[in-house]
A and B are shown apart, each in its own frame.
Chain A
Amino acid sequence: MELRGLNIDVSDKGKAKIFRLSGEIRTDIYSDFLEFFRTKAEASNIILDFQNVKYMSSAGVGALFNINKVANENNKKLVIFGLNPSVKKIIELTKLSNAFVITDTEEEALKKL
């Protein structure tokens, strides 16, 4: 799966689907990004591997917030791991860090489910 500038590979692991993201989450892919993950968050636990996400705008944080909301409404979980320092800082600057479950590694992410 590819959204402009962002590759997404999916695999099943235990109780979750792991989505490995690679590239950039820019403002102009907000709608497609949200729509893609909204349906996934309704159906299963989601782990997002951010190790290869080099850039995320504030729109990406907004999309993650909404995906997390959909997951919660459906009794599912969203866990994010492997944020690089600048992406981590962008989430912190929006003061929405507490809204997400964020871990450093995939193993820790799996334990949060």
Chain B
Amino acid sequence: MIVKFWGVRGSTPTPLSPAEFQVKIKKLLTLSNKVDLSNDEKVDNFLNNLPLSIRSIYGGNTPCVSVEADDTFIILDMGSGARPLGNELMQKPHYQNGGTFHVFLSHTHWDHIQGLPFFSPIYNPKFKLIFYSPFADIKQRLAFQQQEAFFPAKLEDIPCEKEFRIIKDQKIINIDDNLKVEWKRMVHPGDSFSYKITHNNKSMVYATDAEFYKIDEAFMEEVSHLWKGAELLIFDAQYTPEEYINKISWGHSSTIMSVDIALQSESKRLVLFHHEPAYSDELIENTLSRAEEYLATIAPDSSLKIIPAYEGLVFEI
């Protein structure tokens, strides 16, 4: 499986402001003072050794993650990150004659569906989107955001083929012989759903908009069992612990809570996901350091790796 991140920010799209951009440039120029940048190789070497918060951005697009497994293409959420994903897919020779995308939405809050109208393959009849959801009214929900009052093109009028599969009574979805998806309801206002994708006996979990608050032993056991040994756990780590305390029941977890869940489920890599829009890139790196320190304190022998999600991040599983 190839997992790629197109949108990693929670709640609302968060483009870098001109002032924030200027701060990055200033830092970069200051750090480059007296560094030999006389050729491309030296420039690349200099940049690659800088923290991502200085040399690039974590990204402001809302959630969208793609998973490619053999010839199957899965899209997890269609936040504003679906727009660059769609544009890239349209450029690929593989899709010049169309294709099918399997879409699993965690839920239908704006930040997880707002990219659908800007996903360019939907305007081409050669493409097909299959939406899978435990929500029985998923078609109506998606059509609602494309009513004329909100968007010029109605969902029913867009030319691609659309299919809606309701999976509320189906815990395991076999997309093909080697690829299955399992879902579990998460704690979030209005509900959200996590998805575990298993391909050739290796699995990854996508669990965003998941608040692990007031959880009981049965829930934790079920989650630990279902997610056990995941190669990759993409988890809602929206808040710092001190901010979380003031936002209990808003439907999100903290960076440190995500470490607890990764340890409990024996996941191998934890991706901190759904970054709070108010957090700067530096703060995201600071929360990563605290999460790593927490891990070293609570489980010094653990081999868990913690990675903050950024646009363009790729894993091969």
Contact = CB atoms under 8 A, between A and B. Distances in A.
**Binding site of B, secondary structure by majority: helix, strand, loop or mixed?**
helix
A61 interface: yes
A95 B290 CA distance: 10
Nearest to A58: B256
Nearest to B258: A58
A90 B298 CA distance: 8
Interface string A43-63: 000000000000101110110
Given A28-B220, A57-B298, A58-B256, A95 B215 contact: no
B214 to A, nearest CB: 5
Interface string B87-105: 0000000000000000000
A86 B220 contact: no
A95 B216 contact: no
A90 B245 contact: no
A95 B214 contact: no
A34 to B, nearest CB: 8
A94 B261 CA distance: 16
B294 interface: yes
A96 B297 contact: no
B242 A95 contact: yes
B241 A27 contact: no
Contacts, number: 64
A65 B245 contact: yes
Between B241, B264, B290, the greatest number of chain A beta carbons within 10 A of the residue's beta carbon is seen for: B241
B238 to A, nearest CB: 14
B137 interface: no
A55 to B, nearest CB: 7
B297 A89 contact: yes
Nearest to B245: A65
Given A27-B261, A31-B215, A95 B298 contact: no
Interface string B215-251: 1110011000000000000000000111011001000
A112 interface: no
B221 A58 contact: no
B20 interface: no
Interface in A59-107: 59, 61-62, 65, 86, 89-90, 93-96
Contacts of A58: 241, 254, 256-257, 259-260, 294
Question: 6 closest A-B pairs (Cβ-Cβ)?
Answer: A94-B241, A28-B220, A58-B256, A95-B242, A57-B260, A28-B217
Given A4-B217, A28-B220, A95-B242, 9 more contacts: A27-B212, A27-B257, A31-B216, A57-B298, A58-B257, A58-B259, A89-B297, A90-B298, A94-B256
Interface of A: 4, 27-32, 55, 57-59, 61-62, 65, 86, 89-90, 93-96
19 contacts: A4-B217, A27-B212, A28-B216, A28-B217, A29-B217, A31-B214, A57-B260, A58-B241, A58-B254, A58-B256, A58-B257, A59-B260, A61-B241, A86-B297, A86-B298, A90-B294, A93-B241, A94-B256, A96-B245
